[in-house]
Structure 1
């Protein structure tokens, strides 16, 4: 029996030693795994930190490279063209990259060849006879001739007939008229413009330093097309001969989103246009306000009025 006990004791000792070795190996494995996890986290944090440092440095370096290249091109252009030549070049270089794209070169090509491509007008909107309408009223204060000259003797060197159109223009040509709500779609922004503060051309200017000015000896405006139709209709309420595109710069109509909601837009606009007050056989007499400014509140699809009324306001300065 004692022998049996002696045999059992060594077996228990061996079993105990095996368990201790197993525990040591397990704890060692856990320490190794924990160490690897910490190293992975440190490496990940360092990589993120390096990205935060390297990306701005690369962006700054690229911007510095672009600016230095632009400065070099500017110096080369100034040396090659001179100050006046560079000014002419810059008037066409609309994106200011000191390169002329085919679109930027187009005014020169049209001037040299005398051939202009057909204008790309939008199709006119078909008005829904059952759609919403609004009525606009035109009001004006006649021009006071005594405020238009410093001479006590009136307009010296100007014949009475030359001022006939100015003298007879005492009231709006059309005091009141109705418009379809869909007509004001002309003031809606293009698809890439929809945020407050965005601006865009309604009627784009066609003047630059190469095209020169439009002629003075004209009595009747050209037929409006596309978005010009609405502008022409609005200004025709004041006088029957509005010219949507003025002879001199600034020219055209621009608009800007002043406020916006999910359904409505508050749009402000500025028009540079002028009136021909005389008709044949009198000499032309132009009236050119500094600008026509106004605003309109309309739905995003221009199909209906806002809750506070479809508002349109237009005044000249």
Structure 2
């Protein structure tokens, strides 16, 4: 195993951190609580929000008890009206935004005493981006985003400066499959960025699919997305997709030397088999805005009672993943 490193050390110099889980019960809340506790010790001002419902006492699927989010005095947070009113600690309302969800508008508040809270922030990325900006405007040194399960978009570079990916036994009862699924997610998040000259040419382009024709990007018609690309020679071409990339589209572009560029990894909805086939054909996949994965955390326990050996899981992931792999449950116990 690699030399131990604390998850808190990895956030140095990073203002906004998204904690994303590949499945429920992979330890996101444990990571959030660890960071909140360490930031409090260091006197760091923290803002907290979520892209879903986080901090509930009972898991809605397995009905097992879950760790709740613990905030301390001075913590800033953004949550829904419903969950704000259900809190059991003193807090000052700072703002109320019409970022509507089934749980009501978004309340921005500061905790005046310590307590447990359910965070149910905005799920729309534009609202999430504004929420982060608002929390920073209160003087927060760090903003933590508790990302919804299986949704990678909160880690998009326009939202987050760093990503912590939570995985674990809840993702699969088979160690090999668990590692494979985690490795694929890490690969998508860690896609390389296109060179600066190309990025500068792509940034002004509108939503759509564009192909480089002798140094000039031409927009393809919308019908080209569902039709065969046989009429267009994509061999050795650069194609920019300013929108979502799906498996069906990527398969049509599986030609030697083809380079597909996407805005960022959160726009990719491609399965592992398709990406492997595309790369084996000689294609490259890059992004305009590369993300910053700072760590992978593991929870060796599943809510069904299944578990894996922590050391075995960490070592298996370290063979394929360059960023630190940390068992936060073990770290917390120490």
Q: TM-score, normalised by structure 1?
A: 0.19
The structure whose Rg is larger is 1
Structure with higher RCO (Cα < 8 A, 6+ apart):
2
Comparing both structures, which one devotes a greater share of its residues to strand? 2
Q: TM-score, normalised by structure 2?
A: 0.18
